[in-house]
Amino acid sequence: MSSNGCKLSEVRNLTNLRKLGLSLTRGDQIEEDELDSLVNLSKLMLLSINCYDSYGDDLITKIDDLTPPHQLHELSLEFYPGKCSPSWLSPNTLPMLRYMSICSGNLAKMHQRFWETESNTHWRIEALMFHSLSELDMDWEELQRSMPYLRTVHANWCPELETFPIEDVGFRGGVWTKTPTHRT
């Protein structure tokens, strides 16, 4: 690998990889036969995708066509250029996901698959962070229904998340923590 990074296909055989950070800026840098390069990384637990300084709609299509491994525990999307989340961001595709962070970018809504609960499958996400997503619109009740294991939400600079129980979510923001239920 050069100091400038590598092609996506070059990580395909790094089967012991536990953390991977991808910096994706142009769709024409990703070949069609590279889109499934991540699926067999059986030990990958953390995937970070950063699209800082990206351009061109073809990158959104390529990211949407990626095939992340099912056993991911953590996912970070930064500067995602699409208005709608990738279609693979769903509880059926990522059933082991526990932590998700989405920061900056153009995201305005989640793909329909994000909310699907086929065969009674729900997100297993415990902690969620939204930062600097000025157009992201989401309903708090719907989020809680699709993420029953959610314990912590950190959100700031997300003015459209007005139904979230976080004071000043559109500016400084804060943290919501699930109140534990006590048994008597």
| Span 139-155, pLDDT tens digits | 999 999 999 999 999 99
CATH code assigned at 121: 3.80.10
Q: From CA 172, how far away is CA 98, in angstroms rounded?
A: 25
pLDDT at 57: 80
Say if 99 falls within a structural domain.
yes
In this predicted model, what pLDDT tens digit does every residue of 50-101 receive, in sequence order?
999 988 789 999 999 999 999 999 999 999 999 999 999 999 999 999 999 9
Q: Is the pLDDT of residue 1 over 50?
A: no
Say if 182 falls within a structural domain.
no
pLDDT at 2: 41
The full DSSP string for 142-155 is: HHHHH-TT--EEEE
Q: Is the pLDDT of residue 107 over 90?
A: yes
pLDDT at 116: 81
Domain ranges, residue 18: 8-177
- Sheet (strand 174-177) strand order: 19-23, 46-50, 74-80, 99-105, 127-131, 152-156, 174-177
pLDDT at 180: 76
If one counts the domains in the chain, the total is 1
pLDDT at 179: 85
In this predicted model, what pLDDT tens digit does every residue of 8-43 receive, in sequence order?
889 998 999 999 999 999 888 898 999 999 998 999
Q: Is the pLDDT of residue 128 over 70?
A: yes
Say if 183 falls within a structural domain.
no
Q: Is the pLDDT of residue 4 over 80?
A: no
Say if 1 falls within a structural domain.
no
Say if 184 falls within a structural domain.
no
